[in-house]
Amino acid sequence: MDQLLTTFDFATMLEPGTLASPNANSAGPIMTKTLPTLQFSYPLPFGAILQETGVQFAIFSKHATAMRVLLYKRPSDREPYRLIEFNPDTDRWGDIWSVFVPELEAGTLYHFQCDGPFEPDQGHRFDPHARLIDPYAKALAGRFLPSDDGIVRPPKCVVVDEHFDWQGDRHLRRPLAESVIYEMHVRGFTQSPTSDSDAAGTYRGVIDKIPYLKSLGVTAVELMPVHEFPTEDVDGRKRERSNYWGYDPIAFFAPHRGYMQGAQPGDQVRQFKEMVRELHAAGIEVILDVVFNHTAEGNHVGPVFGFKGLENSVYYMLNNDGSYKNYSGCGNTVNSNHPIVREMIFHCLRHWVYNYHIDGFRFDLASILSRNRYGELVPNPPLVEYIAEDPMLADTKIIAEAWDAAGAYQVGSFATQRWAEWNGAYRDNVRRYWRGDLGMTGPMATRLSGSSDLYQPSGRKPYHSINFITSHDGYTLNDLVSYERKHNLANGEENRDGDNNNYSANYGVEGPTRRQPIVDLRKRQAKNMLSSLLLSQGVPMIVAGDEILRTQRGNNNAYCQDNSISWFDWNLVDKNADMLRFAQAIIALRLHQPTLRRTKFLTGTAERPDELPDVSWYGTDGHCVDWNHTFHSLACVFGTSWLKDPAARHVMIFMHAGGQPQQFTVPLAARKLSWRLTIDTAAKTPGDVYPDCHGPELDVTKPLVLPNHSLKCFVATT
């Protein structure tokens, strides 16, 4: 007997459907014979499933009273050329509507459309005229078309052939502890004319720059949202503000069409896979920034072009009066712990892992995933646990932005040992330490050693802390040391947007300056922070362009700046070659030194009495540090105790965030060893970093003087 077998085994006896013109209510049968049962052993039971003889359409809606598929010939068509009515007696299985349409092929363009109650106070917003994006659409084509008749016409869904020659590619499975993550925007990375790419702003443009990524030494790229988002308003007009960042999803399963080369519907699928394949061939993993917390449909005044028109009360969190809960700050909140939505997100993650070989995910505003259907934060939320335990995701990196726009802040307490987190405390403490704020030596030491205060109590490890000083959201590294206040007027919101609390400094002049002492100090501070990031236990994340001092001209919320404010300026690769060389060298140091990549928290103990402890902290006098003192100086030694890797070497770091030079005494325990200078942020290139760790030898018997705002790092040779 035909039945809905399981999530991954969708069986349907293909009963006759009906065909009608766009203006007709019904028509005669389009098929007169029963077709064989379809067995799906495929990760996606819903959406448009391509078969040898046609396409199977399957979609969920509990309260719909009628369902239709609209077929189009071209992405620019305003009206369908064909309309397929689902027969509710033969094409509905519980709350799943399913119909097979023969002779359709890959590239077919379609929308769904359905009837149902329009009762907003009950959570229902069905619109029989709305053209709806398939929640499981694997690609979109075209754009929002003008809606002079009041009907929203979103991009068309595309039937996709998933076959692709991966040439033996598999997930790289690099341990998280050995990763260096590079956050980047696909379009912004090569869109500037300075990129000299024939495929600027596209997936293929990223391929062009793989040699640069390899030379930098990063092990993974974290791509800002690549699932589909609107690039124009829903009435087809150009947006007042560009949707550059892409945190406004409309189709979770589909790679963004705006990043492909050419305009062939569905070709973005192949081009995205080519990008992943080539990145993998270069040893670089791909992590996606995914936005499962809201959609572009907005609140009660927003348009209906997808989830709202299919089952609004299921896909969104609603109040008792049918209005939208807004924990995302974007008008609505995806009801992620409803079983139907949970299943969709689960399928989506598997889709990206199975069909695109994605290596990991960073979940935007992930605290929303911890809220139940009533918006309450709950322990062990089903979706969060589901993701952590799924066997198909076992090789992927799972990273949470452990807060949301409604005040939830779960850094250190988000979930289980499977989840890593963006460590917001790391960002704030390191910024404040190097700015010279009082009382920051203790917090700086805690962050440098892996944030055990946040992650050890729950049994997690140092690599669960994703350390970052800058991200897409906020200042670039250059601007962090060049501006004391945000400069967001270009966003058109009278400088009201963006965070006011940045822990930044300008060191005498707001913005660009030719005063050489200020220029030198800013570069030193940038090197201090980048060095701290790469020398810390945990996993470092660098924002694209920080290694060459890219600026956003003081804009700390460049979400709408699809222009030179946000784009990677490739001229800076040569202009700031010394900074690039510095970044390359300290990334290489990290990847070659197991001492900096521990998988267990430091204990302050040694395996043998004659060894240095795994970590020891010192004041400027070479004795144990006084954590209650307000000095701006700190020294530490990361020892090799408990490490079995023969490549491990002791690493000694001196940091001084004060405004005057500071003298240090080399700790007595370290004087028994020979040390070579590796990093000196106050020195001019090439003396600022020694890639082979063979800089000048340290005279351990003499005081070591650090200029104001500087860092020195030494590696033991014995």
CA pair distance 497, 486, nearest whole angstrom: 9
pLDDT bin (cut points 50, 70, 90) of residue 628 is confident
pLDDT tens figures, 473-528 = 999 999 999 999 999 999 999 999 999 999 999 999 999 999 999 999 999 999 99
Q: Which candidate, 648, 679, 491, 479, places its Cα nearest to that of 585?
A: 679
Please answer whether residues 30 and 22 qualify as being in contact, where contact means their C-beta atoms are separated by less than 8 angstroms: no
User: For 200-211, what is the mean pLDDT?
Assistant: 98
Where does residue 558 rank: exposed (0-12), middle (13-18), buried (19+ CB within 10 A)? buried
What pTM value is reported for the model?
A: 0.93
Tokens linked to 644: 């079995």
Is the omega angle on the peptide bond into residue 381 within 30 degrees of 0, that is, cis? no
User: Backbone phi, then psi, for 437, in 5-degree steps?
Assistant: -65, 145
HSE, side-chain direction, 13 A CA sphere, residue 412: 12
CA pair distance 485, 46, nearest whole angstrom: 49
- Amino acid 503 reads Y
Whether the predicted pLDDT of 561 surpasses 60:
yes
User: For 635-663, what is the mean pLDDT?
Assistant: 96
CA pair distance 195, 569, nearest whole angstrom: 7
Whether the predicted pLDDT of 627 surpasses 60:
yes
Buried b / exposed e along 198-234 (16+ C-beta atoms within 10 A): ebbbbbbbbbbbbeebeebbbbbbbbbbbbbbbbeeb
Task: Determine how many CB atoms are found less than 10 A away from the CB of residue 509.
Answer: 15
Report the length, in residues, of the chain.
718
User: For 430-457, what is the mean pLDDT?
Assistant: 97
pLDDT tens figures, 590-599 = 999 999 999 9
- Residue for token pair 């790469």: 534
User: For 188-206, what is the mean pLDDT?
Assistant: 98
Please answer whether residues 398 and 418 qualify as being in contact, where contact means their C-beta atoms are separated by less than 8 angstroms: yes
Domains, the chain, ranges and CATH? 4-158 (2.60.40.10), 176-301+334-594 (3.20.20.80)
pLDDT bin (cut points 50, 70, 90) of residue 552 is very high
Angle between helices 577-592 and 516-535 (to 10 degrees): 20
Question: Which DSSP symbol is given to 508?
Answer: T
Whether the predicted pLDDT of 545 surpasses 50:
yes
- Amino acid 487 reads H
* pLDDT > 90: percent of the chain: 88
More confident residue, 14 or 698: 698
pLDDT (0 to 100) of residue 15? 36
- Amino acid 602 reads L
CA pair distance 326, 320, nearest whole angstrom: 14
- Residue for token pair 């809905």: 4
DSSP string of 472-488, one letter each residue: SSS--HHHHTT-SS---
pLDDT tens figures, 281-299 = 999 999 999 999 999 999 9
Beta strands in 571-643 (DSSP E): 615-618, 633-638
Whether the predicted pLDDT of 50 surpasses 50:
yes
Give Cβ neighbours of residue 713 (< 8 Å, ≥ 6 apart).
531, 535, 651, 652, 653, 654, 677, 678, 679, 680
Q: Which candidate, 276, 255, 139, places its Cα nearest to that of 206?
A: 276
Please answer whether residues 73 and 81 qualify as being in contact, where contact means their C-beta atoms are separated by less than 8 angstroms: yes
- Residue for token pair 């090799």: 640
- Going 232 to 234 to 238 to 243, the CA torsion angle's sign is negative
Whether the predicted pLDDT of 145 surpasses 80:
yes
User: Backbone phi, then psi, for 524, in 5-degree steps?
Assistant: -65, -40
β-strand 156-158 against 140-141: which pairing, if any? antiparallel
User: For 316-345, what is the mean pLDDT?
Assistant: 96
Please answer whether residues 655 and 529 qualify as being in contact, where contact means their C-beta atoms are separated by less than 8 angstroms: no
Give Cβ neighbours of residue 307 (< 8 Å, ≥ 6 apart).
135, 295, 297, 315, 316
User: For 435-453, what is the mean pLDDT?
Assistant: 97
User: Backbone phi, then psi, for 588, in 5-degree steps?
Assistant: -60, -40
User: Backbone phi, then psi, for 454, in 5-degree steps?
Assistant: -90, -35
Q: Which candidate, 150, 155, 161, 141, places its Cα nearest to that of 49?
A: 161
Whether the predicted pLDDT of 437 surpasses 80:
yes
- Residue for token pair 């990334």: 587
pLDDT (0 to 100) of residue 313? 97
pLDDT tens figures, 459-477 = 999 999 999 999 999 999 9
Whether the predicted pLDDT of 35 surpasses 90:
no
pLDDT (0 to 100) of residue 597? 97
Whether the predicted pLDDT of 30 surpasses 60:
no
Question: Which DSSP symbol is given to 360?
Answer: E
48's enclosing H/E stretch is: strand 47-51
Q: Which candidate, 151, 155, 142, places its Cα nearest to that of 111?
A: 155
Query: Which residues are annotated as catalytic?
Result: 364, 401
Angle between helices 516-535 and 441-448 (to 10 degrees): 50
Whether the predicted pLDDT of 18 surpasses 70:
no
Tokens linked to 557: 């919320």
The three-class DSSP label of residue 429 is helix
Mean pLDDT of the chain: 92
CA pair distance 147, 134, nearest whole angstrom: 20
Tokens linked to 639: 């020892």
